[in-house]
A and B are shown apart, each in its own frame.
Chain A
Amino acid sequence: MSINDIRQLVWQGALNVQITVKPTLLAVDESPKDCAVNLRIPRDIYLTCYLPAIINRVRDSLRVDLDDEEQHIWLEFENVPLYWNYPAGVLYDSMIGLNPSEREDKDAENSLEVWRLELAQGPKLPPGVIPLTGGLQQIRSYLMHQWKQACFILNGSSKQVMSLSMQESSRFWESVVTRDQENFIYVANKVIPFKPRFIPVIIHQTLPEVKLFQPVTVHSKDDGTRTKLIDLIQAQFPNLFQKDHVTLSKVVSNGIELPLTEDLYDLYNRLFSLDGFLHLSICLITDSEYAEEASK
């Protein structure tokens, strides 16, 4: 499969999401199920891009005013507030601790995997959630700054992003919103070099506690060989990924398990997210899968 084929699959990756409203926000005669919003959204986009549409769909069923400037709105999964500033697919993989092989076991012809979220509102945002006060324009600004940061890591400066024309910047943002992969890749290719200085990586660990790591990740090691995924992951989690041992964890990106021996920059080029970073989620394998692996 060519790099373009894989990029296309990544770009087309989608999630079925059902958003209900916190019961405390609903009008007396409304039930959460009656005003559920069902969406199929791309994995590689910010959930908040859909917030205006969700709000419009549920507005009439609420006892509260969602336009109240003194109130904030956010999304939760099992009462855990979601950070809107990571791609939806990354949040899904890390928040449910996705194990791709278990998902395959559950897949059936007439089943549909749905991620159930709740819309919440309150006078204070949960700790860590970035206030969203500027709508899509704020999301666009955040995205461009993330790309500048990724560009700095890759090239040693943000010049490639900062020198984009106004037209190219707009084209880039519109490509994200309108899901136009051709324009997205056109601009991304201007930023991503053939040989980078470092690789922009964010590692999401969910268990035993939620943690984020943004390690300095070299393209080539001191001996001149290129960094593999296993090099990065063993350095970061030496106890979970031990050499010559049955693996205790997997690395997941865009909903798929990654081969640990893959070249890291090749993985980056195929799986980078809309913000220019390669997001990796750590998935712990269960005892049954471990026993299966150990018996091989």
Chain B
Amino acid sequence: MSRILESESDNDESGQSSLANSGSADVANVGRDNSSDANSNVIQRRLEQFSRRLSMLGLMSSQEIEEKDGEEQPDVIESQGLAPLRQEVPMTASLILNKLPKATNEALEKSQQASSKKSHQDKQLKVQIKFQPIGSIAQITPSVCKISATQPFALISTFLTRSLKVSQVYCYINNSFAPNPQQIVGDLWSQFKVDNELIVSYCGTVAFG
């Protein structure tokens, strides 16, 4: 997921942003690859950094690629045993739960029952993704994959980098925008599908800044 956002970091290195230069040098410099030597240590370091960031999202070990017809080619992007990203409720807000009227508690209970049913259905529901390479990056075969509707978009980026064996890939929906990596794939599919496929184009460099 970070590569979507790292793209601008790369741009920044070219000195295009006066704001970044004048504003937040401390943060802006963190994680940059300042080395001008294109040696293997740099690549190794970037791979390690990338891998570390993915693991921070809790997505690293979740991916399983199903084989199709005995070929080692991706068809279904799955996540096994991975709970969806969940943020805790802060204490102040959670205290409100003790002060709710009976009617709200009943409504919440009903909602939770419906939500767990829906979430079970959504886990089963897989949406179709169509991958389109941009520029010289390799094509994923097959170019159409399926993914559980409840997964965050970050999983798609992880899948691409692993499948293509590259350290970075920049993903875009409908050749237009890089979505928030936390956004649920099912929501993206519902909003931006074309012929029931979510079109994800990908590139080794920034394609749409």
Interface residues of A (CB under 8 A from B): 48-49, 51-52, 55-56, 66-67, 69, 72-73, 77-81, 83, 85, 95-97, 99, 124-138, 140-142, 144-146, 148-149, 152-153, 157-158, 162, 173-174, 177, 198, 206-210, 212-216, 237, 239-240, 242, 246, 248-249, 284-288, 290-291
Known contacts A134-B32, A210-B87; 17 additional CB pairs below 8 A are A49-B23, A78-B90, A78-B92, A124-B56, A133-B32, A134-B5, A135-B26, A140-B17, A141-B7, A142-B5, A149-B173, A158-B174, A209-B86, A239-B110, A239-B114, A240-B111, A242-B107
> Could you give, for residues 55-95 of chain B, a 1 whenever the CB lies within 8 Å of some chain A CB and a 0 otherwise?
11110000000000000000000000000011111111110
Is B2 part of the contact surface with A, judged by Cβ < 8 Å?
Answer: yes
Chain A residues near B208 (CB, 8 Å)? Answer: 148, 162
B87 x A128 contact (CB < 8 A) = yes
> Could you give, for residues 175-192 of chain B, a 1 whenever the CB lies within 8 Å of some chain A CB and a 0 otherwise?
011111111100100111
B176 x A137 contact (CB < 8 A) = no
A128 x B9 contact (CB < 8 A) = no
Secondary structure dominating the interface of B: helix
Q: A77-B90, A198-B191 are in contact. Are A138 and B29 (CB under 8 A)?
A: no
B8 x A210 contact (CB < 8 A) = no
Interface residues of B (CB under 8 A from A): 1-2, 4-9, 11-12, 17, 19-20, 23-32, 52-53, 55-58, 85-94, 96-97, 99-104, 107-108, 110-112, 114, 173-174, 176-184, 187, 190-192, 208-209
Q: Which residue of B lies closest to A129 (CB)?
A: B56
Looking at B29, B90, B108, B190, which has the most chain A CB atoms within 10 Å of its CB? B90
A237 and B184 alpha carbons, distance in the complex (Å): 18
Chain A residues near B5 (CB, 8 Å)? Answer: 130-134, 138, 141-142
Give me 12 A-to-B residue pairs in the complex whose CB atoms sit less than 8 angstroms apart, sorted by A's number. A49-B24, A66-B26, A96-B92, A131-B31, A135-B30, A145-B179, A148-B177, A149-B180, A177-B23, A242-B107, A286-B96, A287-B100
A239 and B114 alpha carbons, distance in the complex (Å): 10
B25 to chain A, nearest CB (A): 7
Chain A residues near B30 (CB, 8 Å)? Answer: 67, 69, 132-133, 135
Q: A130-B181, A248-B104 are in contact. Are A137 and B9 (CB under 8 A)?
A: yes
A232 to chain B, nearest CB (A): 14
A138 x B6 contact (CB < 8 A) = yes
A137 x B12 contact (CB < 8 A) = yes
Q: A131-B56, A149-B179 are in contact. Are A137 and B187 (CB under 8 A)?
A: no
Question: Which one, B53, B96, B177, B191, contacts A131 given CB within 8 A?
Answer: B53
Chain B residues near A80 (CB, 8 Å)? Answer: 87-90
Chain A residues near B187 (CB, 8 Å)? Answer: 213-215
Chain A residues near B53 (CB, 8 Å)? Answer: 125, 131
Question: Which one, B25, B93, B104, contacts A240 given CB within 8 A?
Answer: B104
Q: A96-B92, A152-B176, A287-B101 are in contact. Are A135 and B27 (CB under 8 A)?
A: yes
B101 x A78 contact (CB < 8 A) = no
A138 to chain B, nearest CB (A): 5
Q: A136-B28, A140-B17, A291-B101 are in contact. Are A158 and B92 (CB under 8 A)?
A: no
A136 and B92 alpha carbons, distance in the complex (Å): 31
Chain A residues near B89 (CB, 8 Å)? Answer: 80, 206-210
Q: Which residue of A lies closest to B85 (CB)?
A: A128
Q: A124-B56, A239-B111 are in contact. Are A135 and B25 (CB under 8 A)?
A: yes
Chain A residues near B191 (CB, 8 Å)? Answer: 153, 198, 214, 216
A152 x B107 contact (CB < 8 A) = no
